[in-house]
Amino acid sequence: MSEKQPVLRRLKRLFPLILMGIVGFFAWQFWPLASAESQENKTQDKAQVPAAAAQPVVVADAKAQPMPVEIGAIAHVQTISSVAIRSRIDGVIAKVPVRDGQEVKAGDILFELDDRDAQAQLAKAQGTVLKDQAQLKYAQQQVPRFSPLAQKEFLSRDQLEQAQSNAAALEGTLKADQAAVASLQVQLSYTVIRAQIDGKIGTIAFKEGNSIKANGDPPLATLNQLRPIYVSFSVPQRDLARIQKAMAAGPVKAIASIPGDEGEPQQGSVAYIENAIDASTSTLSVKAAFPNPENRLWSGQFVNIKVTLRVEDEAIVVPSEAVQAGQQGSYVFVVKPDMTAEARPVTLDRTVGDLAVIVDGLKNGEKVVTTGQLRLRNGVKVQITTNGSDKGSKQGSAS
């Protein structure tokens, strides 16, 4: 027993090594077969997974077409001419032939003052003129009569000179009296106050029977010209050169849209540019004139105005909904010929209505996605529809 114990101990020590050798042998024999089977299983699994479905999208063609270059702004309407009606003389209002809010023409009578005193003073001055005319006529007749008598010394030289002096003095007096008559006629004309322009009268502050002062405040009424009328708006000073260039080429078209007015926008043109830039805001005031035949533009009213500086003949445009905003700027999804999507950066110049004008990044005829962008990324297969569903038409809708 003593001799067998050392042998058993050695066998126990070698047993793990023998076992590892046996396991390694079998692993070496069967590992390639297991690997092959695993690879085959993976290949079968991949074959069973279906390819990703094409994403339905609505597209439109990028088009080259004429597009206006416009400036838009919020503007307010201004009357071209506004007249505060005041009396030039003191007096009492005898008659007001117009009513509040009435449209009048230049020359229409607005107010009549009591003119009886002015008429009396004028009649007195005219009588004085008649008297002076008679005296002058007599004095002028005396001079040729006295001349031959003075030559024959029937009259003294002093008498002849006195007659001549008297005639000259009466002639001067007559001219002064005639000037007084003209002045009184002007004063009399002030008793009738007429409209100086065509326009619409506002509230009449003084009615019949009121005593008024010359050039008093408040005015009797205010008359505003409505046709034509100005629309005033401000633009950044960087637009000055563009507007000047457009005006040099011809009339610059302007369109005014009135909020809440269902009628057609008003048509006009730029009249002039203010002669100075506002240094505090770096903006420039521009005035556009509108015929305003229906009086839809009203002084003090706010409107939206668009000024067309020029027309770009071959602008690349796409529907505005095709343009997306990203961290790197604007981009669109373009459908490539292999029906995959490509996110492409573009340079957006401006938006006109529902069209976006692209200055860089797109070519005429390329198809851009207008609906379904959220499901896309570079390389994703797409299916063109008309309504974003797989059942739609294969043709995209061009805007």
Residue-wise pLDDT for 21-70, tens only, equals 666 655 555 545 445 445 545 544 444 445 568 899 999 999 999 999 99
Do 228 and 203 have their domain in common? no
Residue 370: which CATH number? 2.40.420.20
Do 232 and 302 have their domain in common? yes
Do 231 and 255 have their domain in common? yes
Going by pLDDT thresholds of 50, 70 and 90, the confidence category of residue 83 is: very high
pLDDT tens-digit series, residues 321-370: 999 998 889 999 999 999 999 999 999 998 888 999 999 999 999 999 99
Examine residue 372 and state whether it is found in any structural domain, yes or no.
yes
More confident site: 351 or 233:
233
Going by pLDDT thresholds of 50, 70 and 90, the confidence category of residue 371 is: very high
> What is the pLDDT of the chain when averaged over all its residues?
86
Do 125 and 216 have their domain in common? yes
**Which of 18-27, 89-98, 179-188 bottoms out in mean pLDDT, i.e. has the lowest?**
18-27
* Domain end among 222, 256, 288: 222
Domain count for the chain, please give it: 3
Rounded Cα distance, 383 and 344, in Å: 18
Examine residue 27 and state whether it is found in any structural domain, yes or no.
no
With pLDDT > 90 as the criterion, what percentage of the chain qualifies? 69
**Which of 56-65, 161-170, 315-324 bottoms out in mean pLDDT, i.e. has the lowest?**
161-170
pLDDT of 35 reads 52
Residue 305: which CATH number? 2.40.30.170
Going by pLDDT thresholds of 50, 70 and 90, the confidence category of residue 185 is: very high
Tokens of 273: 């540019």
Residue 196 has pLDDT above 90, yes or no: yes
| Residue 360, domain extent | 56-66+314-385
Q: How far is CA 292 from CA 133, 203, 240, 295, in A?
A: 56, 22, 26, 5
Residue 313 has pLDDT above 70, yes or no: yes
Examine residue 218 and state whether it is found in any structural domain, yes or no.
yes
Q: How many of the other CB atoms lie within 10 Å of CB of 225?
A: 19
Rounded Cα distance, 219 and 114, in Å: 18
Tokens of 249: 């080429």
Do 102 and 179 have their domain in common? yes
pLDDT of 162 reads 72
Do 218 and 141 have their domain in common? yes
- Kindly write down the DSSP assignment for every residue of 114-129, as one continuous string: --HHHHHHHHHHHHHH
Rounded Cα distance, 90 and 93, in Å: 10
Do 96 and 200 have their domain in common? yes
Examine residue 104 and state whether it is found in any structural domain, yes or no.
yes
